[in-house]
Amino acid sequence: MIAHIFENRCTGCHSCVAACPTHVFDAGEGGVPVIARIDQCQTCYMCELYCEADAIYVDPDQHAAATIAPEAILEAGHAGRLRHDYGWDRPPDPDRGHLSDFWRLGPLLREGAEIAARRHALKRAQA
């Protein structure tokens, strides 16, 4: 689940707002996005991957908000680590490309789709 946006790193590009498939963010005044709907976070990591400023940390716990302190996230080098590990900070390799490693996120994205489908079914049942 998304844990933190580091305002001092954020450039206000809003790539995270555009990338989030479940509309967790509001654009926010002054450029820094606001985590407005954390309950809709499916821990897909798209916001962290698309944040070129390494200003976002998504915690791997899908079911509860992270309790790790922002200072500890930075100290451990967690912010943006996924983006670096996946090679999104490097120019595309003409033979491989960034998407060559993206399959590793498949199970997470599939679970996100299943969560969305369950929510949709629940809403329809309650209507």
Footprint on this chain of ligand SF4 (rule: CB under 6 A): 2, 5, 10-16, 19-20, 22, 24, 33, 41-47, 50-51, 53, 55-56, 58
User: What's 23's DSSP letter?
Assistant: -
- Please, which residue, 41 or 73, has the CB nearer to ligand SF4? 41
Burial class (CB in 10 A: 0-12, 13-18, 19+), 116: middle
The answer to whether 13 and 55 have CB atoms below 8 angstroms apart is no
At closest approach, how far in Å is the CB of 42 from ligand SF4?
Answer: 5
Closer by beta carbon to ligand SF4, 22 or else 74 = 22
User: Among residues 56 and 73, whose Cβ is nearest to ligand SF4?
Assistant: 56
Alpha-carbon distance of 24 to 39, in angstroms, equals 8
